[in-house]
Amino acid sequence: MAHPGCFATATLLAAVPLLALNLSEPDLFVAGVTGSSGSGREPSLSTHHPSRHSDLYSYSALMHRHGPEIVACAREASGVHAQLAFVPHSGPFARGIHLTLQARLRAPLDTAALIAALRDYYADAPFVRVRDSAPRLKEIVGSNYALLSAVSDGRTAAVLCAIDNLNKGAAGGAIQWMNRMHGLPETAGLTAPAAGWT
């Protein structure tokens, strides 16, 4: 079993409902910001937290190495082959990913209806919480939970997602898969709340 990477997890959580429910066109525009712990394990100036402090910049725009993974997993989960335009950013914090996905709606849909569709889609997902307000990293860092929200102007959907890249986007997600594979409760060992002070 292979668990999608952290940017892939956040993007898929935002994209799959839109695609699977046929709510949006398959052209997805994504901008995501990751902390220094999500920038790989090789030491460099771009992964060194003191160099990133108080800075924000994009990298690998439109050619990030996880782009093909996201497209393949989205197709597997939704049955739709999406086109992805992904611009990742390096943020001035240690943990977490905050991601915004935009897509053109197939039919007019207001914000309340879009959020309701996400809630219905994730009704049985114990670690996905859909809320009315925009997610914040402090609400999920240190936990296996994902926070989603959405906004619509009637033509375009913006789905917002926040996860902890080291938990939901890595080890926590892997443990969740292990629990399922071994017949354990999916939530075993994973229900600790966010620390709130990171």
| C-alpha separations of 123 from 9, 63, 86 in Å | 18, 33, 27
Distance of CA 197 to the CA centre of its chain: 21
- Of 37, 69, 80, nearest to 170 by C-alpha is 37
- Mean pLDDT, to the nearest integer, of 124-137? 96
Is residue 6 part of the annotated active site? The answer reads yes
Q: Which of 3, 4, 5, 6 is labelled catalytic? A: 6
- Tens of pLDDT, residue by residue over 145-172, are 999 999 999 999 999 999 999 888 888 8
> Which of helix, strand or coil describes residue 137?
helix
Q: Is the pLDDT of residue 198 over 80?
A: no
Distance of alpha carbon 195 from the chain centroid: 19
More confident residue, 198 or 111: 111
As a whole number of angstroms, the distance between CA 95 and CA 104 comes to 30
Domain boundaries along the sequence of the chain = 6-181
Contacts of 99 (CB under 8 A, 6+ apart): 7, 10, 11, 14, 30, 31, 32, 33, 160, 161, 162
Residue 51 is predicted with a pLDDT of 75
- Mean pLDDT, residues 120-129: 97
Distance CA 18, CA 68 (A): 18
Question: Cβ contacts of residue 46 below 8 Å, gap of 6+?
Answer: 39, 52, 59, 90
How large is the average pLDDT for residues 138-149?
Answer: 95
Percent of the chain with pLDDT over 70: 92
Residue % of the chain over a pLDDT of 90: 69
Q: How confident is the model at residue 65 (pLDDT cuts 50, 70, 90)?
A: confident
Residue 118 scores a pLDDT above 70: yes
pLDDT recorded at residue 155: 97
Q: What is the CATH number of domain 6-181?
A: 3.30.360.10
Q: What is the pLDDT of residue 40?
A: 60
